[in-house]
Structure formats: structure tokens, C-alpha cells
Amino acid sequence: MGNTAKVAVTVDREVLARAERMRESSGESRSALVNRALAALLAAEEHKEKVARYIQAYNERPESEEEIDQARSTAATSLVRLKWGEP
């Protein structure tokens, strides 16, 4: 148990019952389920923060008309090379 910590938490009874059913069907321990849930929550929050930073950066410096035209030209050049309708 080198990099772990013990915690005690209060959980809504219905949430706990649902978690127990999930845990039993997955075969994992309660600790593993809680660890996985917290990791997923933290990853979702990190993703949300990254999206917010991306939107903020885009709002501060959206692409120019020249950049949009260049992207369209590049896409058209790339797409014309594809063999459409062939396996």
C-alpha cells in the first residue's frame, strides 16, 4: 500500500447501493471502484478545463480569413487525391 491513503466518507444510501451492484457485477473491490470513479471524475474535470482554455484562446485569437482560406485549399487538395467509391 505504498502510494495509497485510507479515507472515510459519507455516501447517500441509494448511491452506495447502486455502486455496490456495479462493484459486484464487475468483480472489483469497493476501493477499486471508488478509485476508478474518482479518476474518471478528475479526468472529466481536467478535460473540461482544457476545453475552456481552448475556447478562451480561440476567442482571444480566432483564425484569420487568410488562415481559413489556406485550410480550405489544403483540404481540397488532400481530398481530391482520395479515390472515392473504391474499396
**24 in a structural domain:** yes
Q: Among 51, 38, 27, 28, which Cα is nearest to 4's? A: 38
**39 in a structural domain:** yes
The string of pLDDT tens digits covering residues 46-70 is 999 999 999 999 999 999 999 999 9
**51 in a structural domain:** yes
**35 in a structural domain:** yes
pLDDT band at 87 (very low <50, low <70, confident <90, very high): low
The model carries a pTM of: 0.68
Q: Give the total number of structural domains in the chain.
A: 1
Give kind and range of the element (H or E) at residue 4. none
The string of pLDDT tens digits covering residues 15-37 is 999 999 999 999 999 999 999 99
